[in-house]
Amino acid sequence: MNESLWIFGYGSIIWKTGFDYDESRLAYLPDRARRFWQASTDHRGTIASPGRVVTLIDQPGENCWGMAFKVPSASVELTLSNLDVREVGGYERESVTIHFPDKDPVRGLTYTAHPANPNYLGPASAVDIASQIASSEGPSGSNNEYVFELALALDNLQVEDPHIQDIAGLLKERTDTENAP
Ligand code: SIN
Protein backbone atom coordinates (compact mmCIF):
# COMPACT_ATOMS: atom_id res chain seq x y z
CA MET A 1 0.00 0.00 0.00
CA ASN A 2 1.20 3.51 -0.83
CA GLU A 3 2.09 5.99 1.85
CA SER A 4 1.54 9.72 1.77
CA LEU A 5 4.20 11.62 -0.16
CA TRP A 6 5.77 15.05 0.25
CA ILE A 7 6.36 16.92 -3.02
CA PHE A 8 8.58 20.00 -3.09
CA GLY A 9 7.62 22.67 -5.65
CA TYR A 10 9.88 25.58 -6.57
CA GLY A 11 8.31 26.76 -9.85
CA SER A 12 4.81 26.47 -11.27
CA ILE A 13 3.98 23.80 -8.68
CA ILE A 14 3.97 26.59 -6.06
CA TRP A 15 1.29 28.71 -7.74
CA LYS A 16 -0.46 26.20 -10.03
CA THR A 17 -0.27 23.13 -7.85
CA GLY A 18 -2.94 21.11 -9.62
CA PHE A 19 -3.15 18.16 -7.22
CA ASP A 20 -4.77 17.31 -3.89
CA TYR A 21 -2.83 17.65 -0.67
CA ASP A 22 -3.52 17.41 3.03
CA GLU A 23 -0.97 19.95 4.13
CA SER A 24 1.33 22.54 2.62
CA ARG A 25 4.35 24.17 4.21
CA LEU A 26 7.00 26.73 3.39
CA ALA A 27 10.09 24.61 2.80
CA TYR A 28 13.59 24.64 1.38
CA LEU A 29 16.24 22.47 -0.17
CA PRO A 30 19.72 23.25 1.16
CA ASP A 31 22.63 23.78 -1.25
CA ARG A 32 20.31 24.30 -4.21
CA ALA A 33 19.16 27.34 -6.19
CA ARG A 34 16.38 28.05 -8.68
CA ARG A 35 17.43 29.21 -12.17
CA PHE A 36 15.70 30.01 -15.46
CA TRP A 37 18.03 27.61 -17.25
CA GLN A 38 15.55 25.14 -18.74
CA ALA A 39 13.87 25.57 -22.13
CA SER A 40 10.12 25.08 -22.37
CA THR A 41 8.90 23.85 -25.73
CA ASP A 42 5.62 22.41 -24.44
CA HIS A 43 4.19 24.87 -21.87
CA ARG A 44 5.64 28.38 -22.13
CA GLY A 45 7.17 28.23 -25.59
CA THR A 46 7.23 26.07 -28.70
CA ILE A 47 9.86 23.96 -30.43
CA ALA A 48 10.41 26.82 -32.90
CA SER A 49 10.55 29.45 -30.15
CA PRO A 50 11.36 27.92 -26.76
CA GLY A 51 10.60 29.77 -23.55
CA ARG A 52 12.52 29.52 -20.29
CA VAL A 53 11.35 27.94 -17.04
CA VAL A 54 13.08 27.19 -13.77
CA THR A 55 15.14 24.22 -12.74
CA LEU A 56 17.22 23.45 -9.67
CA ILE A 57 20.99 23.67 -9.66
CA ASP A 58 23.56 22.73 -7.03
CA GLN A 59 24.64 25.84 -5.16
CA PRO A 60 26.58 25.10 -1.98
CA GLY A 61 25.59 27.42 0.87
CA GLU A 62 22.28 28.57 -0.68
CA ASN A 63 18.76 27.42 0.13
CA CYS A 64 16.09 27.11 -2.54
CA TRP A 65 12.82 28.08 -0.88
CA GLY A 66 9.49 26.80 -2.15
CA MET A 67 6.44 24.94 -0.96
CA ALA A 68 6.10 21.33 0.15
CA PHE A 69 2.77 19.56 -0.31
CA LYS A 70 1.78 16.37 1.53
CA VAL A 71 -0.16 14.19 -0.89
CA PRO A 72 -2.48 11.67 0.80
CA SER A 73 -1.74 8.01 0.08
CA ALA A 74 -4.92 7.54 -1.98
CA SER A 75 -3.84 10.33 -4.38
CA VAL A 76 -0.13 9.53 -4.74
CA GLU A 77 -0.32 7.33 -7.83
CA LEU A 78 -2.56 9.68 -9.83
CA THR A 79 -0.62 12.76 -8.72
CA LEU A 80 2.70 11.30 -9.83
CA SER A 81 1.40 10.08 -13.17
CA ASN A 82 -0.13 13.52 -13.87
CA LEU A 83 3.05 15.31 -12.80
CA ASP A 84 5.19 12.99 -14.93
CA VAL A 85 3.15 14.14 -17.95
CA ARG A 86 3.15 17.80 -16.95
CA GLU A 87 6.91 17.84 -16.30
CA VAL A 88 7.82 15.70 -19.31
CA GLY A 89 9.88 18.42 -20.99
CA GLY A 90 13.17 17.34 -19.40
CA TYR A 91 12.30 17.05 -15.70
CA GLU A 92 12.87 13.90 -13.67
CA ARG A 93 11.70 12.82 -10.25
CA GLU A 94 14.46 13.37 -7.69
CA SER A 95 14.40 12.10 -4.11
CA VAL A 96 15.25 14.91 -1.73
CA THR A 97 15.29 15.78 1.94
CA ILE A 98 12.86 18.66 2.43
CA HIS A 99 13.61 21.11 5.22
CA PHE A 100 11.23 23.40 7.12
CA PRO A 101 11.96 26.47 9.20
CA ASP A 102 10.64 24.94 12.44
CA LYS A 103 9.97 21.22 11.94
CA ASP A 104 12.03 18.10 11.35
CA PRO A 105 13.01 17.41 7.74
CA VAL A 106 11.13 14.82 5.69
CA ARG A 107 11.99 12.72 2.67
CA GLY A 108 10.10 13.54 -0.49
CA LEU A 109 10.52 14.26 -4.14
CA THR A 110 10.88 17.13 -6.53
CA TYR A 111 11.09 17.45 -10.30
CA THR A 112 14.52 18.52 -11.53
CA ALA A 113 15.74 19.22 -15.06
CA HIS A 114 19.37 18.09 -15.06
CA PRO A 115 22.03 19.43 -17.43
CA ALA A 116 21.96 16.24 -19.53
CA ASN A 117 18.35 16.74 -20.67
CA PRO A 118 17.88 17.96 -24.26
CA ASN A 119 16.03 21.13 -23.18
CA TYR A 120 18.71 22.31 -20.78
CA LEU A 121 19.98 25.76 -21.75
CA GLY A 122 22.22 26.65 -18.83
CA PRO A 123 23.33 30.11 -17.70
CA ALA A 124 22.71 33.36 -19.53
CA SER A 125 22.56 36.98 -18.42
CA ALA A 126 19.35 38.26 -16.83
CA VAL A 127 18.89 40.56 -19.86
CA ASP A 128 19.19 37.68 -22.34
CA ILE A 129 16.89 35.47 -20.27
CA ALA A 130 14.30 38.26 -20.05
CA SER A 131 14.36 38.92 -23.78
CA GLN A 132 13.89 35.25 -24.60
CA ILE A 133 10.98 35.07 -22.14
CA ALA A 134 9.39 38.29 -23.44
CA SER A 135 8.96 36.78 -26.89
CA SER A 136 7.76 33.32 -25.82
CA GLU A 137 4.33 31.84 -25.49
CA GLY A 138 3.10 28.23 -25.44
CA PRO A 139 0.03 26.08 -24.82
CA SER A 140 0.00 26.95 -21.08
CA GLY A 141 0.17 30.71 -21.72
CA SER A 142 2.77 33.43 -22.00
CA ASN A 143 6.22 32.98 -20.57
CA ASN A 144 5.84 36.41 -18.93
CA GLU A 145 2.90 35.11 -16.93
CA TYR A 146 5.00 32.20 -15.59
CA VAL A 147 7.62 34.67 -14.33
CA PHE A 148 5.14 37.15 -12.85
CA GLU A 149 3.11 34.42 -11.11
CA LEU A 150 6.27 32.88 -9.67
CA ALA A 151 7.61 36.26 -8.51
CA LEU A 152 4.24 37.05 -6.89
CA ALA A 153 4.03 33.66 -5.18
CA LEU A 154 7.54 34.07 -3.75
CA ASP A 155 6.70 37.58 -2.65
CA ASN A 156 3.59 36.31 -0.86
CA LEU A 157 5.77 33.72 0.90
CA GLN A 158 8.27 36.47 1.77
CA VAL A 159 10.97 34.56 -0.06
CA GLU A 160 13.73 36.68 -1.58
CA ASP A 161 15.22 35.27 -4.75
CA PRO A 162 17.39 37.84 -6.55
CA HIS A 163 17.57 35.78 -9.78
CA ILE A 164 13.78 35.71 -10.09
CA GLN A 165 13.37 39.33 -8.92
CA ASP A 166 15.93 40.58 -11.50
CA ILE A 167 14.23 38.83 -14.39
CA ALA A 168 10.71 39.81 -13.24
CA GLY A 169 11.92 43.42 -12.86
CA LEU A 170 13.34 43.51 -16.40
CA LEU A 171 10.14 42.04 -17.82
CA LYS A 172 8.02 44.56 -15.91
CA GLU A 173 10.09 47.42 -17.36
CA ARG A 174 9.53 46.02 -20.85
CA THR A 175 5.77 45.66 -20.42
CA ASP A 176 5.49 49.12 -18.81
CA THR A 177 7.34 50.62 -21.80
CA GLU A 178 5.17 48.73 -24.30
CA ASN A 179 1.99 49.86 -22.52
CA ALA A 180 3.08 53.47 -22.08
CA PRO A 181 0.71 55.94 -23.79
C1 SIN B 1 8.31 22.96 -9.95
O2 SIN B 1 7.40 23.80 -10.03
O3 SIN B 1 8.66 22.51 -8.83
C4 SIN B 1 8.98 22.40 -11.16
C5 SIN B 1 9.20 23.38 -12.25
C6 SIN B 1 7.94 23.88 -12.89
O7 SIN B 1 7.05 23.09 -13.22
O8 SIN B 1 7.80 25.11 -13.05
pTM for the predicted model, two decimal places:
0.95
Q: Judge contact between 119 and 54, C-beta under 8 A.
A: no
Best residue among 111, 145, 167 to mutate for probing ligand 1, ranked by most atoms within 8 Å of CB: 111
Instruction: Give the pLDDT score at 90.
Output: 95
Residue 171 confidence (pLDDT) above 90: yes
Residue 81 — pLDDT band, cuts 50, 70, 90?
very high
Ligand 1 atom at minimal distance to the Cα of residue 14: 2
Q: Answer yes or no: are the C-beta atoms of 45 and 138 closer than 8 Å.
A: yes
pLDDT confidence tier of residue 147, bands split at 50, 70 and 90: very high
Q: What percent of the chain has pLDDT over 70?
A: 99
Going from the Cα of 181 to the center of ligand 1, the distance in angstroms, rounded, reads 36
- pLDDT for 4 equals 97
Q: In what order do the strands lie in the sheet with 5-9?
A: 23-40, 51-71, 5-9, 106-113, 91-98
Helices 143-156 and 126-134: crossing angle in degrees, nearest 10, is: 120
Radius of gyration of the chain (CA): 16
pLDDT value of position 180: 84
pLDDT tens-digit map of 125-144: 999 999 999 999 999 999 99
Q: Whose CA is nearest to atom 2 of ligand 1?
A: 11
Q: What pLDDT does residue 181 have?
A: 80
Express as a percent the part of the chain with pLDDT over 90: 95
- For ligand 1, say whether the CB of 71 is within 6 Å of any of its atoms: no
Predicted pLDDT of residue 2: 67
